[in-house]
């Protein structure tokens, strides 16, 4: 069974703090996506990482793809209440058109 | 470019009934995937269609079925609804050769 484990599951922090969310698997992915989802809505794409070791920055968000393409991390600097939501990682299994979704990290940023 | 659209957004059914959900992908996207999302199980893959053919299928019972039309629009059908089918059903589309999926807003189904 292919799994994509995210940690932590829940995170409640104060505005201005930094945080890191991890996404780990024993499977190798050809690409990995990060999404943010608000209640009752569909996941919204944040970034796609493709190359092992790749680092992408999106304003205060930094995404890293592991060298072996089995894991990824999302780091948020100076979190704001608008960052509140469910963060999901999703790995694409090479050549299969199959995606495995992580269990999700529910982030709450308090003002 | 318009995003992925799903109709209806909300649906209430009773046990034993059947339901059909619709998804229109982003223009030019030929791959459409369906997912079920529940608080306990997270996002679970149902099936994926490409050029009117089911290319992948998840581990769901035969009550869950889908199809894709020549214009890439897709429908999924759930027959003999059970209480446990209550969930947010998400549709995602992607371009040929691209692995990034773009999601619609979902259809929230409540089975009473």
Tens digit of each residue's pLDDT (9 = 90 or more) over B3-34: 999 999 999 999 999 999 999 999 999 999 99
Facing A99 at nearest CB: one of B42, B45, B102: B45
Say if A5 is an interface residue toward chain B (CB within 8 Å). Answer: no
Chain A contact set for B92 (CB, 8 A) = 42
Give the whole-angstrom CA distance, residue A49 versus residue A52. Answer: 8
Chain A contact set for B34 (CB, 8 A) = none
Apex A35 CA angle, A32 and A41, nearest 5: 145
| pLDDT tens figures, B40-82 | 888 999 999 999 999 989 999 999 999 999 999 999 999 999 9
Res. A99 pLDDT band, cuts 50 70 90: confident
| pLDDT tens figures, A58-96 | 999 999 999 999 999 999 999 999 999 999 999 988 877
Chain B contact set for A99 (CB, 8 A) = 33, 45, 101
Which residues fall within 8 angstroms of residue B22, CB to CB, at 6 or more apart? B6, B7, B73, B74, B75
């Amino acid at each position: 069974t292919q799994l994509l484990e995210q940690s932590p599951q829940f995170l409640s922090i104060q505005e201005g703090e930094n945080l890191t969310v991890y996404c780990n698997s024993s499977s190798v992915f050809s690409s990995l996506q990060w999404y943010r989802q608000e209640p009752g809505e569909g996941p919204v794409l944040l970034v796609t990482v493709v190359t092992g070791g790749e680092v992408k920055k999106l304003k205060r968000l930094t995404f890293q793809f592991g060298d072996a393409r089995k894991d990824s991390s999302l780091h948020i600097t100076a979190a704001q209440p608008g960052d509140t939501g469910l963060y999901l990682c999703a790995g694409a299994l090479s050549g299969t058109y199959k995606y495995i979704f992580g269990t999700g990290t529910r982030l709450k940023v308090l003002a | 470019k318009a995003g992925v659209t799903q109709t209806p957004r909300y649906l209430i059914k009773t046990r034993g009934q059947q339901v059909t959900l619709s998804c229109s992908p982003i223009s030019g996207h030929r791959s459409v995937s369906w997912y079920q999302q529940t608080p306990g199980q997270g996002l679970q893959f149902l099936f994926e269609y490409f050029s009117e053919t089911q290319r992948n299928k998840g581990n769901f019972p035969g009550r869950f079925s889908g199809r894709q039309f020549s214009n890439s629009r897709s429908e999924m059908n759930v027959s003999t609804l059970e209480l446990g089918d209550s969930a947010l059903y998400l549709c995602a589309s992607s371009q040929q050769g691209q692995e990034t999926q773009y999601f619609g807003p979902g259809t929230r189904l409540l089975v009473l």
